[in-house]
Amino acid sequence: VRIVTCTNILKLLLFLQRVLLLVASDVDALCACKILQALFQCDHVQYTLVPVSGWQELETAFLEHKDQFKYFVLINCGANVDLLEILQPEEDVLFFVCDSHRPINVVNVYNETQIKLLVKQDDDLDVPAYDDIFRDEEDEDDDSENESDGSEPSEKRRRFEEDVIERTMRRRQKREWEARRREILFDYEQYEYHGTSSAMVMFDLAWIMSKDLNDMLWWAIVGLTDQWVQDKITQMKYVTDIGILQRHVSRHNHRNEDEENSLSIDCMRIAFEYDLRLALYQHWSLYESLCNTSYTSACLKLWSVQGQKRLQEFLADMGLPLKQVKQKFNSMDISLKENLREMIEESANKFGMKDLRVQTFSIHFGFKNKFLASDIVYATTSLMENIEKEGPETDNFIKALDSLSRSNLDKLHQGLDLAKKQLRAIQQTVASCICTNLVISQGPFLYCSLMEGTPDVKLFSKPVSLCLLSKYLLKSFVCSTKNKRCKLLPLVMAAPMDVEQGTVIMVGIPPETESSDKKNFFGRAFEKAAESTNSRTLHNHFDMSIIELKTEDRSKFLDALISLLS
């Protein structure tokens, strides 16, 4: 398989005159974008940035700009479809694709002339061999080619070896080859999953060229953490990548340790942490964080009365006064905070929460501001999918992008506030879904549909929020149900999208098991179900497991999905 030589691509990129950046709406993409922008800036490369939330916007943006640009950089979009097929670019157009979506479309992999893939060398792509999926036209157009176009007959003709027998044999071989090809491609394309974070790939490129800065490293960390928060990668992959980043962190932040006292206000320092997986706890109260973190909420079953009792017991076990726990973390007694992590972990173990601590990184801006990588992810996500203000979608995108700069702490704080609202909304919705038995088994999968009029339902018309909700709901459901079979099922979740147009947004997620490989088969299944029922669907999202469809078509679509997966 072709391996992309990263350095050359980046050199090429930095050498280009005018570049169009097409960036998807996820935090990892934003982080990769920040890194690339910083690189462009120091090499004075001119570029235009266009946020794209789905295929339609990508196509429109390409059509609008294809006359002015020859070079397009796609971040977290474009890898998993045949780009040349859908965009029909001129032959001199060049695409640089940095996208964690897997599997990568085979044409993108093998077309080296127009598509430059930015992929980490050790990422295992498992791409089928060229000869197994492509065949030279030459072999196929044996006899008819010259005659069908009306050119003059040849003056002389050679008679080939056993024309008839050979041709039927070749046809048979071709048929067998095609059947095998279909099988290979089916296996290859069946599951959707994610490769290395784009921000990490971009950072890697910067590092190889010795252009990496501490800021870029932080964005790479946030990018990876986004994949972890969104549950896109396996635990193993997360730990491995954390290890890679940790080496960069100690390389970059080594010097500062000696001069810790001289930290100035605009100085930043990144540190490896073995911290609590409690969402936003340092910017919230410990109590709120415990209640609104999916892990603790699911393990303690907080939606039930017993669950609430368990929480009280848990807090008592730690010996933390309720008053302290419920006030702002910042204002908690310093004495309590000193051994807090160890205390919490010890009690958590007793309550069956063995994984409450995780490896992550923190960042210090000057003296005052300290954030965990996941804080940034939650804040940026909320800014990106902010539903409070009506306005062009790109406003949210730009705000989210800005919040990643350390000079924009106010935006970041705004994001943290929004994130708290989002997490609360998710937990409340999870609790009500479970208490009212909205999660039902459809046989091959679990299904939950949010009604129009549910509180916060508008938030869940946004893809990332809906995905987070689905994942938290599935975790909680697995903890709540006694049905062993149901614990192993994937979940399909639907929410109203546009009431006027009568559409719903639907997402499918893989089963919530400890050894989950995070591979998702719903993309293909949705496609097939839509095809077989002629449902009016729109595969607009870069994640194929998210689909939009007409509300009236939902039931026949689901029926088809059930029979397809049974």
Partner 1 sequence: MPVGNEQGERMRKFKNRGKDVAAMRRQRVEVNIELRKAKKDEQILKRRSISITPLEENSACQEKKEIIQLSLEEIVEAVNGSNTELQLQATQATRRMLSRQRDPPLSQIIELGIIPRLVEFLTRADNAPLQFEAAWALTNIASGTSDHTRAVVEGGAIPAFVSLLSSPHMHISEQSVWALGNIAGDGPLYRDALINCNVIPPLLALVSPVTPVGFLRNITWTLSNLCRNKNPYPPLDAVKKMLPVLICLIQHEDKEIISDSCWALSYLTDGSNDRIQIVVDTGILPRLVELMADTELIVLTPALRAIGNVVTGTDDQTQAAIDAGVLAVLPCLLRHTKPTIQKEAAWALSNIAAGPCRQIQQLITCGLLPPLVELLEKGDFKAQKEAVWAVANFTTGGTVEQVVELVQSGVLKPLLNLLSAKDSKTILVILDTIANLFLAAEKLGETERLCLLVEELDGLEKIEALQTHDNNMVYRAALSIIEKYFAGEESTDLQPGSDQDGQLDFSVEKQDFNF
Question: In terms of CB distance, is 90 or 149 closer to partner 1?
Answer: 149
- Cα–chain center distance at 263: 35
Q: Is the dihedral of CA 340, 345, 350, 352 positive or negative?
A: positive
Q: Provide CB contacts within 8 A for 516, sequence distance 6+.
A: 234, 510
Nearer to partner 1, 67 or 136 (CB): 136
Q: Which tokens go with 472?
A: 């938290």
* List 67, 92, 124, 161, residue binding partner 1 (CB under 8 A): 161
Q: CA angle, corner 281, sides to 280 and 285, nearest 5?
A: 125
* Contacts with partner 1, 97-126, as mask; x by CB under 8 A: -------------xxxx-------------
Please say whether the beta carbons of 300 and 307 come within 8 A. yes
Least Cβ distance, residue 9 to partner 1 (angstroms)? 15
Which position among 15, 160, 186, 274 is part of the footprint of partner 1 (CB under 8 A)? 160
Residues 18-57, mask of contacts with partner 1 (x by CB under 8 A): ----------------------------------------
Q: Which residues contact 537 (CB under 8 A, 6 or more apart)?
A: 526, 530, 547, 548, 549, 550, 553, 557
Q: Minimum CB separation from partner 1 for residue 196, in Å?
A: 23
Residue that the structure tokens 């670019």 belong to? 89
- To partner 1, the closest distance from the beta carbon of 84 in angstroms equals 10
Nearer to partner 1, 106 or 469 (CB): 106
**Binding to partner 1, residues 247-266 (CB under 8 A):** none
Distance, in Å, from the CA atom of 432 to the CA atom of 430, rounded to the nearest integer, reads 6
> Cβ of residue 246: shortest distance to partner 1, in angstroms?
36
Print the SS3 string covering 119-183.
CCCCCCCCCCCHHHHCCCHHHHCCCCHHHHCCCCCCCCCCCCCCHHHHHHHHHHHHHHHHHHHHH
Reference 432, options 462, 453, 416; nearest CA is 453
**One character per residue 200-239, x = contact with partner 1 (rule: CB under 8 A):** ----------------------------------------
DSSP letters, 246-296, are HHHHHHHHHHHHHTGGG--TT-EEEEEEEEE--TTGGGSBHHHHHHH-HHH
CB of 135 to partner 1, least distance (A): 9
The least CB distance from residue 158 to partner 1, in Å, is 4
- Find the helix or strand (DSSP H, E) in which 47 lies: strand 46-52
Q: Closer to partner 1 by CB, 128 or 510: give it.
A: 128
x/- binding map, residues 129-158, to partner 1, per CB under 8 A?
A: -xx--x-xxx--------xxxxxxxxxxxx
> Smallest gap, in angstroms, from Cβ of residue 295 to partner 1?
45
In the bound state with partner 1, the residue whose beta carbon lies nearer, of 105 and 449, is 105
Neighbours of 341 (CB within 10 A): 16
Q: How far is the CB of 162 from partner 1 (least distance, A)?
A: 8
- Of 45-53, 160-168, 311-319, 448-456, the segment contacting partner 1 by CB under 8 A is 160-168
Q: Shortest Cβ distance from residue 172 to partner 1 (Å)?
A: 12
DSSP code of 234? -
Which CB atom, from 159 or from 484, has the smaller least distance to partner 1?
A: 159
Interface ranges with partner 1 (CB under 8 A)? 2, 110-113, 130-131, 134, 136-138, 147-162
